[in-house]
Structure 1
Amino acid sequence: MDQMIQDIFPSCYQVAYQPRPPKPEDKCFFFRGRTVLERWDGEALVLPDYAAVAAHIGQPQFLFIIDETAYYLAEYPNALESPEGYEWHDLRHERSKKSRVLCFAEATAYHLAEWYGANRFCGQCGERTQPDLVERMLRCPKCGNLIYPKIAPAVIVAVTRGDQILMTRYQGRDYKGYALIAGFTEIGETAEDTVRREVMEEVGLQVKDLRYYGSQPWGADANLLLGFFARLDGPSAIHLDRQELSQAGWYHRDEIDLPPDGVSLTNHMIQAFRRGEWD
């Protein structure tokens, strides 16, 4: 069965916010842009233990717990050399060198790191915010403003026409592989209306028979992705939005040569269509 980045069973991600003082064996995340500090242990890339960096950092920010291990966010002093054996590794391009648990953990940690970084000060009064001790939240001690992590809902749409599926390629993005129609849900809009609007805007097609497929947290961009299948309703001629897409076309199941990636909802949906499980 295909997997996605959040599929880490038998490990368990604990959603509850349960901050605790770090133990020596707990893990620390250090980010610089879209890179993370890790080392090769002979089998895979791994994070630094708290014990290895405790002498060089202040009090780290608790993030979450997976199984019995707590993960923390910290800033590594720019003037200090990285611990021996550690280097800055790209978040996206080296997933194959990491465990499934680490791939999920770092995507979620990056989501939180971006949120913490963008909300150091209150947007209402300008006071420095403080992490809450009970909820995953930032609190303004001056005006009482409460700031929760930003999660942006977006849709992924597999448009089908019998044994064909509409696949696209993005315009101007680093990722050059096949994709599906995608877009953010706007204020006052349902997910179903987002599906219809995005398909019309990007390829000029109408759809019907919308069916929910599944969802995926995508921490790299603070998204919650909602996957839908939809059947073509009417003419199949594509009118491409060149600002969003560089290519779009209809592909028969037998023409799909995209291998499972074990990461993305998009790939998961394409593989389900290829196997004949959805149409």
Structure 2
Amino acid sequence: MIQDIQPHQFDNQYRPCPPDAQSYALYYEGQSTLLKKRKDGIDFPRFRDLERLNEEIYEEAVYLFTIDEERFYLVQNISRERLSEFTMENKESFRYAEPQYLAFAGITGYQLNNWYRNRKFCGRCGHKMRHDEKERMMRCDHCGNMEFPKICPAVIIGVTDGDKILMSKYAGRAYKKYALLAGFTEIGETIEETVQREVMEEVGLKVKNIRYYKSQPWSFSDTILMGFYCDLDGEEEITLDREELALAEWFQRDEIPVEPSRDSLTNEMIIKFKNGEV
């Protein structure tokens, strides 16, 4: 999966030290990231690549994380060379870009950028927030409000019936490939209740024998994904929620039209079932 970057080591402990010329500078506009595309993959600008047109870049940078000994920082409101080799590319490219550790850095930085961008002002009193010196947290000195990064719990659900698994396609989304049922946990419910509710809401089915598989950080949607397999409980006739899904259908193991990819928990769960490993 996208976060599996071994032997590289990701360290997200907050260490607000200043950048140097060799540090990576992550810059975002909307859903796009500044990067350089090479024959062997992608690369991000370093501070030395941007400093000539951005005198304040070192003072305004926000520490994000390290991978191995390389430090990554968030930079904002920069000027770029008109014919720069660095271009703005959509975040979806990180699903497949190489090297994988830089793709993971890019999408993780995207999640943090969105959080910082949405926490400039206090949601309680409206005053400007400031960066805390010790934790990754935004603090309001006026009312004392503290804001920490937002992570939304969600489930990926492999509904099975013997040698069949239920797969679906989303309605109204750019992603058109087969996926498993999924949904966010609501306030006041357990993760297992989320599984039952989402299956009933999206396809009108009851499930039993809910069992945890594994989790995945998914920065594309500020989410921590938790994967579950469960068994059909009762009739297999589908009642489709057409606002959420374009289709949902049962597939035998040997008929699953999905091939392995490196990015998602969803794909891994489908392939595990396809290969008879669950």
With structure 1 as the length reference, what TM-score do the two structures score? 0.95
Task: State how many pairs are aligned.
Answer: 274
Aligned to 2:176: 176
* Alpha-carbon offset, residue 105 of structure 1: 0.9
Q: 1:202 to 1:95 in 2, by over 3 A?
A: closer
Partners of 2:173 and 2:207 in 1: CA distance: 26
Structure 1 pair 16/82, CA: closer, same or farther in 2 (3 Å)? farther
Across the aligned residues of Structure 1 and Structure 2, the Cα RMSD in angstroms comes to 1.4
Contact 2:31 2:90 (C-alpha < 8 Å) held by counterparts: yes
Match for residue 10 of structure 2?
13
Point out where structure 2 has 5 or more consecutive residues left out of the alignment.
none
Find the aligned partners of 2:146 and 2:40 in 1 and give their Cα distance.
Answer: 43
Q: Deviations over 1:124-149 (max 9, x none)?
A: 11111111111111111221111000
Q: Judging changes above 3 Å, is the alpha-carbon distance between structure 1 residues 171 and 200 closer, same or farther for their aligned structure 2 residues?
A: same
CA deviation map 1:46-67 (0-9, x unaligned): 0001111134143211111111
Q: Deviations over 1:81-136 (max 9, x none)?
A: 45721111111136434311111111111111000000100111111111111111
Aligned equivalent of 2:237: 237
Aligned residues: percent identity? 45
- TM-score, scaled to structure 2: 0.95
Structure 1: tracts of 5 or more residues without a match: none
Aligned mates of 2:116, 2:239 — CA distance in 1: 41
d(CA) in 2 for partners of 1:270, 1:191? 20
Aligned pairs for 1:64-83 within 5 A:
64-77=65-78, 80-81=80-81
Distance (Å, rounded) in 2 between the aligned partners of 1:37 and 1:82: 13
Question: Equivalent of 2:47, from 47, 50, 53?
Answer: 50
* Letter paired with 1:65: T
Structure 1 residues 172 and 73: CA distance shift in structure 2, 3 A = same
- Partner-residue secondary structure (3-state), 1:92: helix
Asked whether the 8 Å contact 2:94–2:107 carries over to 1, the reply is no
Equivalent residues in 2 for 1:2-151, closer than 5 Å: 4-55=1-52, 56=54, 57-58=56-57, 59-77=60-78, 80-81=80-81, 84-93=84-93, 95-151=95-151
Alpha-carbon distance change, 86 to 112 in structure 1, aligned in 2, over 3 angstroms: same
SS at 2:96's partner residue?
Answer: helix
User: What does residue 196 of structure 1 align with?
Assistant: 196
4+ runs deviating over 3 angstroms: 80-83, 93-97
Give the Cα–Cα distance (whole angstroms) in 2 for the partners of residues 177 and 155 of structure 1: 18
What's 1:227 paired with? 227
Q: Would the aligned equivalents of 2:96 and 2:262 in 1 still touch at CA under 8 Å?
A: no
